[in-house]
Structure 1
């Protein structure tokens, strides 16, 4: 006999009260899965499966958006306490990044560049807000120590470069004047994210050296370091590829070859740095003994960072013509599918019981009634 749904809580309404933005990491990982499946060679039904995964992601993003909006509407005073917490507000950056995967899917599966542009504009605004508001809250409203630092710090920062890469993907499908503005905006968004992320990575490595591995419940956060490097590489590659057509016949035409060549070189450098972090992250997770790691929503950190790294690998294979990148992309995609499947199954189980719905900044139910 199956236990009743949400048995972890006394009332199903607790799902709304305990809902946090880390659920949007599900849409990040699932959206990347759709894009990767579409790029994989295989049977004729694979593109249709990729499109179905993208549609599922739209449903998930819509559901999570409604739940989080209800969280703020029904419990505004307690919900506002998120900005005092030292970890949960970082996941606000997952909202625009989840939306970015849907925006890219509108272009890839829906073939509607004008709708994608409207969604991209919303995504860009949310990304900039995430990259400004959350770090400001970290400075003025939270307490942090080097010992407690993890890769989660990167989440609100990376959203801008994800939006930049999405803009570069969209630019070739729009009129030239719009495309030129998108490419310039993409470089601006890239600059709002990557330099700061590289600084955070430097400090994060110092923290690892001085204080060893993060606690077991945050072990997967080591993979998040791969996100800004994979996305940073992807952004430079896509922006450099879009620049020649976008800048042709304009005052910026002289930058086209620089952007294209610099995109490949810069993308390769960031990709190689990402490969180093990936190897280190795998080693650190193995050192934790994966079978003893407690499952939580942080496990979705296995998906999106690796996914954008694979997307950058695929683009490097296309732009350089080197078969090694093509093979690496295919192998990593198969590993990604296995990781996504494992995390998705355990998330479904935890969601059914309700154990994954927990907002650490919310007062106990009895106190909330006072």
Structure 2
């Protein structure tokens, strides 16, 4: 168990992100699906178990292996995944609002959602400041090492913004709702600005350096995550802030509509480019796609884009985006099943987490072999 905890790095919270987004999108699908609520509830239960285990392992690792935990921040790749912790918390909190309110007393579920959202927001602010700062002053990287995974620590504020938008009406008086809305818009601006800069670096790396390896190819899908969350934030704000910005509701509606449709087009482009990279490496010309935890990049970013499509559909009330959301949900489920099964298999076999006690190999009597 001690060895297991030592290995438990923050990148394991990507599983929390993936399970949580699939649960919420399945439960709230605007296109009726057989047993969607039952499936969503089952995944919600699984999400709570996985999140609690992951959070417990992470805390115990800080207690028992403090040096190992601190070393995560000294490593330019491992430090990135503290963003996964923040986003995982925000997804769990959002699912308590979407699904938990139908399983336990709604007021309790909403309070749990708010507490987790505040906690996730604080961790999000921590990651978006600390991890880039370490990259600027401590870590040593080359241009060819630029990957879309650099978005992982800067994306959490926009995930907190998108999930927090749903909670705006539950914050009591108008003044509190306005303060929360101001924080949400500020977090949106913070992440969107950083998303544009990091995306430019990723594009430049794709142009000026050799192609991504099969191991790195799944990372391209991370680009789709902030696109979907930005759509979700600006498409939902006009619907949740009518009591605060009544005179500007139509303006916000127009901004959300135009912005989200434009970003939907950007998201489709990134999906096609990312898919082409994955397909290339599955061909005889590529390196193959060896499985690792980075494959969860096929799940949460697609889920984020699907949630943005849902939000855009609710804003415009058009069947096109309802149907598009259904197609995206089907693709998401296909990716989720593959990645979840491969992850469970990797854990069980001990290839992702080395927890099995290796059996000593039987000694061979070489002297007798030579005599024979």
- Give the TM-score, by structure 1 length: 0.88
Residue 14 of structure 1 and its aligned partner are, at CA, apart by 1.6
Could you tell me how far apart the structure 2 residues matched to 1:108 and 1:82 are? 33
Tell whether 2:349 aligns with 1:353.
Answer: yes
> Which residue in the other structure is 1:258 paired with?
251
The partner residue of 1:306 within 302, 322, 325 is 302
Q: What is the correspondence of 1:190-269 to structure 2 with a 5 Å cutoff?
A: 190-248=188-246, 254-269=247-262
Residue 114 of structure 1 and its aligned partner are, at CA, apart by 2.5
Tell whether 2:28 aligns with 1:35.
Answer: no
Residue 210 of structure 1 and its aligned partner are, at CA, apart by 0.8
Q: Which is further off, 217-226 or 38-47?
A: 38-47
Tell whether 2:324 aligns with 1:328.
Answer: yes
Tell whether 2:121 aligns with 1:124.
Answer: yes
- Contact in 2 for aligned 1:113/1:174 (Cα 8 Å): no
Residue 43 of structure 1 and its aligned partner are, at CA, apart by 5.2
Residue 109 of structure 1 and its aligned partner are, at CA, apart by 1.6
Tell whether 2:47 aligns with 1:57.
Answer: yes
- Give the TM-score, by structure 2 length: 0.88
Q: Which is further off, 185-194 or 282-291?
A: 282-291
Residue 292 of structure 1 and its aligned partner are, at CA, apart by 2.2
> Which residue in the other structure is 1:361 paired with?
none
Could you tell me how far apart the structure 1 residues matched to 2:349 and 2:3 are? 12
Residue 184 of structure 1 and its aligned partner are, at CA, apart by 1.5
> What are the superposed Cα offsets for residues 39-62 of structure 1, whole Å, 9 maximum, x if unpaired?
234456321220221121111111
> Which residue in the other structure is 2:184 paired with?
186
> Which residue in the other structure is 1:95 paired with?
85
- Contact in 2 for aligned 1:233/1:312 (Cα 8 Å): yes
Q: Which is further off, 45-54 or 325-334?
A: 45-54
Could you tell me how far apart the structure 1 residues matched to 2:345 and 2:34 are? 32
Could you tell me how far apart the structure 1 residues matched to 2:256 and 2:182 are? 14
Could you tell me how far apart the structure 2 residues matched to 1:166 and 1:78 are? 32
Residue 176 of structure 1 and its aligned partner are, at CA, apart by 4.2
Relative contact order higher in (CA < 8 Å, ≥ 6 apart):
1
Show structure 1 runs of 4+ deviating over 6 A.
Answer: none
- Contact in 1 for aligned 2:313/2:319 (Cα 8 Å): yes
Structure 1 residues 146 and 240: alpha-carbon distance in aligned structure 2, compared to 1, 3 A threshold: farther
Structure 2: gaps of 5 or more residues:
102-108, 355-372
Aligned residues: 342
SS in 1 for 2:154: helix
Structure possessing the higher radius of gyration over alpha carbons = 2
SS in 2 for 1:264: helix
